[in-house]
Structure 1
C-alpha cells in the first residue's frame, strides 16, 4: 500500500507572491517603509462609524452645552489692575463679590513680573457700579501707576461691545466661503471632482470636531479662536492633497490592468504617506505646545493661548481626517459609479475564477488556436471501412 501525501497550497496574495516565504517585519518597520501593510481603506466602514460617532458627540455637545463665548462676543466690562506680589485672583473675586453683590465672569492674571496685571471680566456695569468697584479694589490692594504712586487711576476700565466680535465672525465666515470655493475649483481642475468632494468633507469634519472640542471642554471662544480655525484649514487641506497626489500616481492607468483594484492602490498611497503625515503633525504640534507653555505659564497672554489651543486641536484632527477619512471617502465615491466600479468588479471576478481553479472547482482555460495532439489509438466511433486499397500496378 503506497503512502500518499497531500500538499497544502501556499497562501498567495493578490500579486501571486507566496506570503509564507516572505520575512516578517514589525509594525514599526512596516510603518516606516510604507509597504501597504495597514489596511486602512479596506476597513473604511470601521472608520466611517468612528467618524460618525465623533460627529454625533460634537453635535450633541452643541445642543446641550453650547459654547463659552468671550467678552468680545457677549459684551461686558473689562477691569485691569497691576498685579502686585500679594494679590491673588481669589482675593480679587472676593472684593468684587463683596462690593457689587455678584461674582465676576472670570478673573485671570496676565503677563509676568512688573508687567503682570489682573484682568476681571464681568457683565456690563453702569458708571456707579464701576466707581464702587474701583474704590473697593483700590482700598484692598493699593495699586500703583507707572510712577509708583498708589492711585485709583491705576485701575483701568473698558466697555466691550458684542458687535465687534460679531463683525470678526462675519468676516471670518466670508473668508471661509471664499477659501472653500477656490480650493474646490483648484482640486477639481488639478485632480478630479471626487477628490474635491472628499477634501471638502474632511475640512468640514475638521471644523466641526474642533468646535466640538471647544464645546465639550468649555474653552472660551474668542476672536483669536475664530482666526485659528482659518489657519488649521490650510494644514488639513495640505495633508489631504499630499495623500491624493500619491493616490493619483499609484492609480494612473489602473483601468488597463486587472491585478489591483483602485481601493488597494489608494490604500498603498495612504501607507506610503502615513509616516510623512505623522512626522508633519508632530513637527507642527511641538511649536504650538511650546507657544501654549509660553503663553500660559510665562506670559499669561490670553490671545496667544487661544490661538495655540485651536491650532493644536485642529492639527491633530486634521491628521486623522486626511488619513482615516478623506482617502477612504474618495474610494467609496469612486466605487459607487463610473469606470472604477466596473474595473473593481472585473478584478474581483478574475480573482474568484482563479480561486475556483486553484480549488479544482473550475476547468482550466484552454488557449484559443492551440491544437491538441492526436492519439495513435483508434478513437471511439471510428471503424475500419473494410475496403482495402487496390494495389497499384
Structure 2
C-alpha cells in the first residue's frame, strides 16, 4: 500500500487526525476574506456579460486566409465595441460584437467584408436580443432557488436542520467565490457560465453530504458516553472521509483543468472556457467548504444544544479529574494544546464513538 493510502487507512480508523474543527476560526477568517474580496470585485469591476445578455451581432465568415489577430483588428476598426473573434473548426471565423442593433449590423457586415476581403454575401450575420439573455438569467435564478430549497428540505429530513443550514451556507459561499473569480479575471459570462455554475452545486453538495453521513453515523448514542464532545466527533468524521474527498476532487479537477488550460488556453475554444473556469473554481471551492466550512458550522450550531452543552461539561470534567489523578492515555481537554498537523490516536480526531467502538476503544479493534 502506498504511503498516501496507508495514511488514508489510519485516518479512517482514527489512528491519526488533524484538528480541523478546533481551528475553525482560522478557516472562517480565510473564507470571509475571500468572500469579501469577491463581493468587492463584483461591486467595483462587475461582470463581463456576454452577447447573450447584452445583445449584439455574431458574424460568421467562410474559410479565409485571415488570422484571428487580423480579424480582431479589422472588427475593432469598424465598430466602437470590443470584438471577440474565434476560429472555427471549418477554418472560418466567428466574430462577436456586443451592442449592435439591426441597422448597425448591416453596416458592420459590409465594412467587415471590405476589411477582410471577403464577399459580403458570404458573411452570415445573426442578431441576438438582450431579452433572450434576460429570460435565460431569470430561468437560472429560478432553477437556483428551487434547487437550494429542495436541498434544504432533503437534508433537513435525511439528517437534521443544522446540517441543512450549514450546507446552504457552503453552497452560497462556493457560488460567491466562483462569480467573484469571474469578475477578477474578466472572463465573459455566457450561457456556458450559467450551466457551469448550476453544475458545481451538485459537486459541492456531494462532498458535504459524504462528511455529514459519516457524522450522522458517528453521533449515534453520543450522549451515553463521556469521552468525546460533539465537535470532536465532527472532527473525526472529517478525517475519516478526508482522503476520499481529496481523491474525488482531484479526479474531477484533472479533466476540467484540461478543458480550461488546454482546450481553452491553447485551442481557443470559447464556450469550453466559460464552462471549465466555473467548474474548476467551483469544484475547488466545494471541496474546501465541505471540510473547512460546512462541518465546523454544524459543530458550532450543535454545541449550542443543551444536551451537547451538558455532554461537553461531563467530558471536560472527566478529563480534569483524570489529569488531576495523573492518569495517562486520556484525551486532551478541549482547548488544550495539541501538536500541529497529525494528532495521536485518542485525541479529539482520533477517538472512536458509537458504532465504531471496537475492542475496548483500541484503534485496531482487536481483543486480547
Contact residue 21 and residue 232 of structure 2 kept, 8 A: yes
User: Secondary structure at 1:78's aligned position in 2?
Assistant: strand
State which of 108, 116, 119 in structure 2 corresponds to 1:133: 108
Which stretch of structure 1 is more off in the superposition, 208-217 or 72-81?
A: 72-81
Q: Does 1:120 align with 2:100?
A: no
User: Secondary structure at 2:21's aligned position in 1?
Assistant: coil
User: Secondary structure at 2:126's aligned position in 1?
Assistant: strand
**1:31 deviation in Å?**
4.8
State which of 66, 75, 94 in structure 1 corresponds to 2:46: 66
Per the alignment, residue 60 of structure 2 pairs with 80
State which of 146, 168, 187 in structure 2 corresponds to 1:178: 146
User: Secondary structure at 1:124's aligned position in 2?
Assistant: coil
Per the alignment, residue 168 of structure 1 pairs with 136
Which stretch of structure 1 is more off in the superposition, 210-219 or 296-305?
A: 296-305
User: Secondary structure at 2:170's aligned position in 1?
Assistant: helix
State which of 202, 211, 214 in structure 1 corresponds to 2:182: 214
Q: Does 1:280 align with 2:248?
A: yes
Deviations 1:92-149 (A, max 9, x none): 233334445x3x322322333x34423232321453x434433333233333xxxxxx
**1:59 deviation in Å?**
1.2
**1:225 deviation in Å?**
0.9
Per the alignment, residue 42 of structure 1 pairs with 22
CA shift in 2, pair 1:42/1:98, >3 Å: closer
CA shift in 2, pair 1:289/1:111, >3 Å: farther
**1:322 deviation in Å?**
0.4
Report matched runs for 1:273-312 at 5 Å.
273-292=241-260, 295-296=263-264, 300-312=268-280
Contact residue 82 and residue 118 of structure 1 kept, 8 A: no
The structure with the larger Rg is: 1
Contact residue 68 and residue 93 of structure 2 kept, 8 A: no
Tell me, in whole angstroms, the C-alpha distance in 1 between the residues paired with 2:60 and 2:9: 52
Report matched runs for 1:264-279 at 5 Å.
264-279=232-247
- TM-score (norm: length of structure 1): 0.76
**1:32 deviation in Å?**
5.3
**1:298 deviation in Å?**
6.9
Tell me, in whole angstroms, the C-alpha distance in 2 between the residues paired with 1:323 and 1:99: 52
Q: Does 1:111 align with 2:88?
A: yes
Contact residue 110 and residue 299 of structure 1 kept, 8 A: no
Report matched runs for 1:111-260 at 5 Å.
111-112=88-89, 114-127=90-103, 129-143=104-118, 151-260=119-228
Deviations 1:328-370 (A, max 9, x none): 11100011223112211211122122222329xxxxxxxxxxx
- TM-score (norm: length of structure 2): 0.81
CA shift in 2, pair 1:45/1:74, >3 Å: same
Deviations 1:245-302 (A, max 9, x none): 0011112111100011111111111011000001111111122223335642676442
RMSD across aligned C-alpha pairs, in angstroms?
2.2
User: Secondary structure at 2:70's aligned position in 1?
Assistant: helix
Tell me, in whole angstroms, the C-alpha distance in 1 between the residues paired with 2:32 and 2:8: 26
Contact residue 110 and residue 302 of structure 1 kept, 8 A: no
Tell me, in whole angstroms, the C-alpha distance in 1 between the residues paired with 2:310 and 2:87: 62
**1:199 deviation in Å?**
0.8
Corresponding pairs, count: 322
Deviations 1:162-215 (A, max 9, x none): 111111111111111111111111111111111111111111111111111111
State which of 258, 270, 292 in structure 2 corresponds to 1:324: 292
Tell me, in whole angstroms, the C-alpha distance in 1 between the residues paired with 2:296 and 2:99: 48
User: Secondary structure at 1:42's aligned position in 2?
Assistant: helix
CA shift in 2, pair 1:297/1:40, >3 Å: closer
Contact residue 77 and residue 121 of structure 1 kept, 8 A: yes
State which of 86, 90, 95 in structure 1 corresponds to 2:69: 90
Unaligned runs of 5+ in 2: 328-368
For CA contacts below 8 A with separation 6 or more, give which structure has more relative contact order.
2
Unaligned runs of 5+ in 1: 1-25, 144-150, 360-393
